[in-house]
């Protein structure tokens, strides 16, 4: 059984020059034609703005479609004006918008039985949603805490169950080394830090790297480059 990537392996992937180019391409920096997903967090000024942060809106449903997934019409209506929407809202009301994954305060929300976990399970179990769409909806509502996560990213990281907790550990590892590298990548790519979160930088960089080579069944996963001989990546690899 393959083991999830180590911090050093993640840094080795991110440190390749292609990461900055991929981010610029995805978000349409410097006149490039952006992917539709580049508007996921921007649409309607974001899903976590004060007036709508605790309810699923029609804008949120359109936003997840920009990531090539779709909520079926009946379930969408239930989210917008039915019992499902009220149940999810009750959980969202208890999840702050300013606690990032990797911070100690995030643990109670993402652990099994936590408010974010409960909201995710409500969405996952709704007709026609499943784990991918559920995660993307929550990432829209709590972009600092919940990562966008799908089959391609899961294959690249070699993870599936308890992904939030696993990534939480990597983000807090070695004095938040991954956090620092993602912040540098965001700046190098020219992305606005007020809009594009570090979680989104990580998701896009990994997804762009693995999407073309991903073969679904029995995919061998993302190619791990040899670690740098010096610097933070090498240090992380030695420790991992």
Residue count (the chain): 240
Same domain, 16 and 67: no
Q: Which of 146, 175, 204 is the last residue of a domain?
A: 146
| Rg from Cα positions in the chain | 17
Same domain, 22 and 32: yes
d(C-alpha 10, C-alpha 4), whole Å: 10
pLDDT, tens digit, 9 for 90 and up, residues 2-51: 899 999 999 999 999 999 999 999 999 978 789 999 999 999 999 999 99
In 10 A of CB 105, how many CB atoms? 11
pLDDT, tens digit, 9 for 90 and up, residues 210-232: 999 999 888 988 999 975 543 45
Same domain, 134 and 218: no
Domain encompassing residue 8: 1-40+148-240
Q: Whose CA is closest to 178, among 196, 199, 164?
A: 199
Same domain, 12 and 66: no
d(C-alpha 135, C-alpha 117), whole Å: 10
Cβ neighbours of residue 194 under 8 Å, at least 6 residues apart? Answer: none
pLDDT, tens digit, 9 for 90 and up, residues 103-123: 999 999 999 999 999 999 999
Same domain, 8 and 100: no
Q: Which of 83, 118, 146 is the last residue of a domain?
A: 146
Q: Is the pTM above the cut of 0.85?
A: yes
**Are the C-beta atoms of residues 177 and 102 closer than 8 Å to each other?**
no
Same domain, 176 and 231: yes
Q: Which of 146, 170, 197 is the last residue of a domain?
A: 146
């Amino acid at each position: 059984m393959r083991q999830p990537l180590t911090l050093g392996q993640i840094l080795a992937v991110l440190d390749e020059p292609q990461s900055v180019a991929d981010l610029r391409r995805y978000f349409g920096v410097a006149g490039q034609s952006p992917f539709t997903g580049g508007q996921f967090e921007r649409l309607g000024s974001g899903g976590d703005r004060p007036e709508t942060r605790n309810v699923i809106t029609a804008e949120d449903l359109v936003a997840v479609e920009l990531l090539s997934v779709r909520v079926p019409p009946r379930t969408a209506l239930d989210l917008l004006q039915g019992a499902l929407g009220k149940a999810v809202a009750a959980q969202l009301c208890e999840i702050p918008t300013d606690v990032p994954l990797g911070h100690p305060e995030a643990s109670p929300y993402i652990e099994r039985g936590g408010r974010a976990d409960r909201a995710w399970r409500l969405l996952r179990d709704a007709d026609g949603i499943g784990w991918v769409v559920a995660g993307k909806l929550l990432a829209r509502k709590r972009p600092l805490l919940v990562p966008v996560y799908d089959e391609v990213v899961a294959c690249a990281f070699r993870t599936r169950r308890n992904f939030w907790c696993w990534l939480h550990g990597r983000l807090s590892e070695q004095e938040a080394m991954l956090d620092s590298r993602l912040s540098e990548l965001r700046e190098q790519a020219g992305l606005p830090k007020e809009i594009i979160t570090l979680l989104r930088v990580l998701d896009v960089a990994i997804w762009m790297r693995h999407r073309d080579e991903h073969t679904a069944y029995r995919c061998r996963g993302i190619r791990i480059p040899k670690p740098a001989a010096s610097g933070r990546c090498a240090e992380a690899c030695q420790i991992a």
